[in-house]
Amino acid sequence: MSGPARYLDPAIIARLGTIDLKARTIVEGFLTGLHRSPYKGFSVEFAEYRQYIPGDDLATLDWKVFARSDKHFVKKYEEETNLTCHMMLDVSGSMGYGSGDITKLQYASYLTGALAYLMHRQRDSFGLIAFDDSIAALLPASARSGHLRTLLLALERIEIGARTNVAKPLHDLAAAVRKRGMVVLISDLLDDPANVLEGLKHFRYRGTDVIVFHILDPYELKFPFEQAARFRDMETAEEVAAVPGSIRQDYIDRMQERIAFFRRELGLVGIDYCQLETSQPLELGLMSYLMTRRRVL
């Protein structure tokens, strides 16, 4: 599949619906009118009718229906959302790594597209910031009907950048965002963990909710290399000669230590952290987003 539609892979969306029925309800709730929203009764958006049951709030009775059918129905409403979401996509050199058919950047792009689709369905405002050590592409948040296509086209044009500097765009964006909203960071976080943490905290101090998708390739987690080789950094071109067998455990420990650090420290400041492997289904990411969104709302 090519073109912008690649980011709307129907299979992804379909699998999202089949895995978690409630999630599908949230995405397409009021369009189908078949399922119940967990936020019913608090939204101005009509969701469904239900026969009155004694004990229901009389304020929810639809008197017009009663007049026409002489039956008591209660009106149910989906919560109307009005969220502004900024998606920050890391396009640094390290995101170009892929041990299988898909690189981390491709995976992150698919995830960004899927999230945008969901946000579009919910009429949330969403924007995109692609960055490496500076902002490579910026798409301000909007809920306009054509905005999704614009974002998907922007994703299509993204190229691998240079070195990672997560903290700087985070600080820049935190200073720029005025309205309380949500920030989605999609990155491999191969930067100084302390700097990354400081940048994310900046958002939290301003009351912005943050979800971090930590994208990792399976090889980054398991380091399954066998033959002695020189490992060249994809961003700095620094080389380290090593025998994988002799350093594997040390590397894995360090990687797990880093993951644990982010999970722990981000959790302490109320930032959701979701570690994704490029071999895992995207639904996990979407679900994490939806869970965070529900918490935000």
Partner 1 sequence: MGGISFLSPLFLIGAIAAAVPILLHLFHRKTEVVIDFPAVSLLKRAPVQQHRRRRLRELLLLALRVGALLLLALSFARPYLAGAAATSSMPLTVITVDTSMSMSAPGQMDRARDAASRAAAAAPSSHALALIGFGDTAAVIVEPTTDRSAIASAITQLNASASGTRFRTALARASEIIGTREGSVVVVTDLQQAGWEANDDGGLPDGINVEVISVPPPTGNLAVTSAERRDRRIVASIQNYANSEVTAPVRLFAAGKEIAKVDVTMAARGAADAELIGSLPAGGDAEVRVDDVSGYQPDNSRKVLLDPAPSVPIAIVVADPTGSTGGLYVERALKVAGNGREFSVDVRDGREVAKWTGAELSKIAAMFVLGTRTLDRNGREVIRNYLTRGGQVFVAAGPDVDPGTLADVLGTKLPFEGDPIRTAGATMIARDGRHPIFRPFLSPSGALGDVQVEQHRRLKDPADHTVLARFSGGDAALTEQAAGEGRLIVFTSDLDNAWSRFPLNPAFVPFAIETARYLTRSQSLARRSPEVAKAAESNPAATTVEEFTNAIERTTRAGVTEAQNAAREIEDRQRWWQIGLVIMLVALAGEALVGRRAT
169/183 Cα distance (integer angstroms): 12
What type of residue is 177?
V
Site residues for partner 1, window 146-175 (CB under 8 A)? none
**CB 239 to partner 1: min, Å:** 7
Contact between 261 and partner 1 per CB under 8 A? no
Contact between 246 and partner 1 per CB under 8 A? yes
CA-wise closest residue to 19 among 289, 286, 296, 294: 286
Contact 185, 210 (CB under 8 A): yes
Angle, CA of 23, 24 and 28, to the nearest 5°: 125
Contact between 241 and partner 1 per CB under 8 A? yes
89 forms beta bridges with: 130, 186
From the list 19-27, 54-62, 234-242, 269-277, the region that binds partner 1 by CB under 8 A is 234-242
Contact between 217 and partner 1 per CB under 8 A? yes
**CB 27 to partner 1: min, Å:** 33
Residue 57 CA neighbour count, 13 Å, CB half: 5
Contact between 50 and partner 1 per CB under 8 A? no
From the list 64-72, 127-135, 236-244, 285-293, the region that binds partner 1 by CB under 8 A is 236-244
What type of residue is 195?
N
Q: For partner 1, give the closer residue by CB, 60 or 195.
A: 195
Contact 119, 162 (CB under 8 A): no
From the list 8-16, 38-46, 71-79, 246-254, the region that binds partner 1 by CB under 8 A is 246-254
**CB 133 to partner 1: min, Å:** 15
Contact between 247 and partner 1 per CB under 8 A? yes
- In whole angstroms, how far apart are CA 200 and each of 171, 194, 297? 8, 10, 20
Rg, Å, the chain Cα set: 22
Residue in 61, 231, 275, 296 binding partner 1, rule: CB under 8 A? 231
From the list 75-83, 93-101, 266-274, 279-287, the region that binds partner 1 by CB under 8 A is 93-101
Residue in 239, 260, 264, 270 binding partner 1, rule: CB under 8 A? 239
Residue in 49, 52, 225, 261 binding partner 1, rule: CB under 8 A? 225
Strand order in the sheet with 84-90: 135-142, 125-131, 84-90, 182-187, 209-216, 272-277
Contact between 259 and partner 1 per CB under 8 A? no
The DSSP annotation for 9-21 comes to: -HHHHHHHHHH-H
